[in-house]
A and B are shown apart, each in its own frame.
Chain A
Amino acid sequence: MADAAPAIAFDRVNLAFDDKVVLRDLSFTVPKGRTKIILGASGSGKSTILKIIVGLLRADAGAVFVNGERVDQMTEQELMKVRADLGMIFQEGALFDSLTVRENVGYKYYEESDMPLEQVHRRVEEVLGFIGMAEHIEKMPSELSGGQRRRVAIARAMAFKPGILLYDEATTGLDPITATTVDDEIIKLRDFEGVTSIVVTHQLRDAFYVATNMAVRNAAGNVEIVPATPEKTDEAEFIMLKDGVICFEGNADELRHSNDEYLKTFLS
Chain B
Amino acid sequence: MRRVFSFLSNWMKKAALEMQEYVRLIVAALSDTFTPPMYRHDIIEQFDALGFASLTVVLLTGLFTGAALASQTGITLDQYGARPVVGRLVSVSMVTELGPVLTALMLTGRIGSGIAAELGSMVVTDQINALRALGTDPIRKLVVPRMLAGLLMAPLLTIASDFVGVFGGWAVARFQLQVSSDLYWSSVTDALYVQDLYQGLVKPFVFGFIIVTVACHVGLRTKGGTQGVGKSTTLAVVAGSVAVIAADFFVTQILVWAFY
Contact = CB atoms under 8 A, between A and B. Distances in A.
Interface of A: 51, 54-56, 76, 80, 83-84, 86-88, 90-92, 94-97, 107-108, 111-112, 156
Interface in B39-75: 39
Interface of B: 37, 39, 121, 125-127, 129-130, 132-137, 141
Interface of A is mostly: mixed
A86 B132 CA distance: 11
A48 B122 CA distance: 19
Contacts of B129: 51, 56, 90, 94
B130 A112 contact: no
A171 B39 CA distance: 34
B134 A76 contact: no
Contact of B130 (A76, A84, A96): A96
Given A76-B137, A92-B125, 5 more contacts: A90-B130, A91-B126, A92-B126, A111-B141, A112-B136
A86 B130 CA distance: 11
B21 to A, nearest CB: 15
Contacts, number: 49
Given A92-B125, A94-B127, A97-B127, A54 B133 contact: yes
B135 A112 contact: yes
Contacts of A55: 132
B136 A111 contact: yes
Contacts of A54: 132-133
B141 to A, nearest CB: 8
Contacts of B136: 111-112
B133 A83 contact: yes
Contacts of B130: 88, 90, 94-96
B233 to A, nearest CB: 17
A80 B135 CA distance: 5
A208 to B, nearest CB: 27
A96 B141 CA distance: 13
A184 B1 CA distance: 63
Contacts of A92: 125-126
Contacts of B132: 54-56, 83
Contacts of A80: 135, 137
14 contacts: A51-B129, A54-B132, A56-B132, A83-B133, A83-B134, A84-B135, A90-B133, A92-B126, A94-B129, A97-B125, A107-B134, A112-B37, A112-B134, A112-B135
